[in-house]
Chains A and B, each alone.
Chain A
Amino acid sequence: MTTPAAVRAALPRLLTTLAPYQAAVVRIGTAGTWGAYLLREWGNRRVLYGDRSPWSAELNDRLLADTHAFTALSWSDGRWWFEAVYLLALLSAGAVALGWRTRASTVLFALTVLSLQNRNVFLGDGGDNLVHLMAIYLVFTRCGAVWSLDARRRARRPGRDPAEWGEPRALADALAAMLHNCAMLVIAVQVVLVYATAGWYKVQGARWQDGTAVFYPLELDYFTPWPELSGLLGGSLLVTFALTYGTVAMQVGFPFSLAARRLKNVLLAVMVVEHLAIALLLGLPFFSLAMVSADAVFLPTALLLRLGGLLAVQGRAAGWWVARRSGRTGGAAAGEPVEAVAGGPVEAAGEPVGGADG
C-alpha cells in the first residue's frame, strides 16, 4: 500500500533525471533511423522534398495556408535553400545520434524533420509519423545524459559535485529533470497509444476476426519486395491464422502488460521480432526501425546496461584488431576513434546523471 510517507520519499526522485538509458536509446534509434532514411533518399531528395517535387511549393503553400504546419522550406523555394536544409537535417540527425551538443542538436533535428515532412505530407507512412512525434518529444528530454559525446565530455572534465551546487543551479537542474520526466512519460504513453489504437481497431475488422488479415498485405504490389517469400508465408492457413490472432492479442494486450514486468519484456521481444519481419517482408525498414526505437522506451535498464557493456567490449576488440592491422600496414593508431565511440557508453555509465545543461 502507498502511504503518505512513501509518497513523500518518492517525490525527490521526480526531481532527478529518470530513465536516462531509455532516453538515450530512443534518441539514438530515432535519429539513426531518420539519418539512414535521408541517406537512402539522397538521390531522390529533390523530387521528394525539393525544387523538383510534383507537389510544388505553390501547391504546398496553398495547403499550409489551411493547416499552418511548420516548414522552413516555405521560406524560399530555391534549390540551394533546400539543399542547405537537407544537409542540415542529415548533420543534425548525426549529431543527435552521437549525442553531440544534445540540447541544441535535438532542437535543430526537430525543426529539420518538420521542415522536410511538412514540405510534402503526402509522402510519409506510420514510421515518418512516429519520427515526427519523437523528434519533438526528444527536445524536452535530457536524452544526452548517457551514451553520448556530451556525457564523455562531462566525464573527462567533471564539474563540481551536485551536492555543492548553490540553490539557483540546483533548482534549474531539478526543473530540467522534471521536464525530462514529463517528456519521457509522454513518449511512453505515445507508444501505448500507437499499439492500443492499432490493436483495438483491428479487433473490429472482419479480416482480423476471420484469421486471414496477415495474408492480404503480403499480396499488395506496393509491399512485396520479395513476392516468393510473401507467397510462402501467406500460403499456410495455420501460420496466417496464428500471426493474425497473435498480432491483435499482442497489440491489445501490450498496454496492460506494463503492469507485469516479465510479460512486458516478453511482449517487447516478440514485437521487435515482428517489426524485423515487417521490415523485410513488406519492404518497410525505416518504419520498423522507428517503431523499434520507440518501443525501446520500455526496455529494462539492466538489459540496456548489459547490451551497452557488450557493445563496448566488441568495440574494444574491434579497435584492437583494427589497430593491429593498421599497425601491420604502417598506419597510425586507428583503434582510438573506434574505441572512443564504442567505449564511451560504459565509461559514462558510472557517471551521475544530470549535469550542467539544466
Chain B
Amino acid sequence: MSAVRVWSKPARVVLVVAGVGLGACVLAFLGALFLHVAPANSVSKQYRAQVDWVVYPEFEQNWKLFAPDPLQRNVAVDARVQTVGPDGTVVTGEWRGLSAEDWAAIRHDPAPSHLDQNLLRRAWDFYESTHGEGDAQAAPGSRGQLAERYLERIALQRTGTGGGRVIQVQLRATVTAVAPPAWSREQVDTAPHVRELPWWPVQDADREGLS
C-alpha cells in the first residue's frame, strides 16, 4: 500500500468527528441488541423504551430456537367446514388433517417449503400465544382477532368449498407429547389431547383472494 497520507487540519477534524460519531452509534446499537437478548435486568428495564425503539420492528432477534428447551410436542391441526347446498340442506364436512398434509409434503423433501413447514405451524403458535388455554373470541382490533382470522382463512383455503356455500368453519388441535427416548427411564404422558375450537361463521369477504 501507499505511504500514509498526511491530512490537512479540516480533514482531520472531519475524520475525528465522523469516527467518534460512528463509534458512538455502533456502541449504542450493539448495546441495545445486547440488552434485548439478555434476560430482563436492571438496565434493560430502565432503558426499555430506548431498547425497543432500536430493536423494533427491523432488528428483532429470535435466537432461542430449541432453547431453553427444544419443542417436545407435536401439534396436529385439523379443519372442517359446514356448507349449505343449493336446496338449503346444511352439510358438516369431514375433518381434514392440515398438519398431516404438511408433514406428508415435508417427507423426503431436502428443501421443504415455508408453505408446508412454517405457515400453519406458526399461525397456530400465533393463535396460542394470543389465546392461552381458552378459545373465547378475542376482542375486536386485538392481535388475537388477527390470529383467528388468519387461521380461519388458512382453513378455508385448504378445505375448499365441497360444492356448496361455506357458512362455518371449525378447527381442532391434537397435541401429543414426544415420548422420551427408548433408552431413557423417564415416563411421559403421550396420550393425545384434543382442543376443539368453536365454529367460526364465514362471510364471503373472508374468502377474498383465497382461490
* Chain A interface (Cβ < 8 Å from any Cβ of B): 12, 14-16, 40-41, 44, 47-48, 51-56, 59, 62-63, 67-70, 114, 118, 122-126, 129, 132-133, 136, 161-163, 167, 170-171, 174-175, 178-179, 182, 185-186, 189-190, 193-194, 196-198, 201-202, 204-208, 212-217, 219-227, 234-237, 240, 280, 283, 285-286, 352
Contact = CB atoms under 8 A, between A and B. Distances in A.
Contacts of B61: 129, 193-194, 197
A197 B63 CA distance: 6
A55 B3 CA distance: 59
B141 to A, nearest CB: 8
B65 A126 contact: yes
Nearest to A201: B67
Contacts of A161: 2
B106 interface: yes
B203 interface: no
B150 A132 contact: no
B154 interface: yes
A235 B182 CA distance: 7
Nearest to A227: B107
Contact of B157 (A54, A67, A217): A54
A40 B113 CA distance: 7
A283 B67 contact: no
A221 B74 contact: yes
Given A69-B58, A129-B61, A182-B26, A52 B210 contact: yes
A355 to B, nearest CB: 14
B98 to A, nearest CB: 11
A190 to B, nearest CB: 7
Contacts of B25: 182
Interface stretch (B16-24, B42-50, B131-139, B194-202): B16-24
Nearest to B19: A178
B40 interface: no
12 contacts: A48-B114, A52-B157, A125-B118, A167-B8, A171-B11, A186-B29, A204-B67, A217-B70, A221-B106, A222-B102, A225-B110, A283-B117
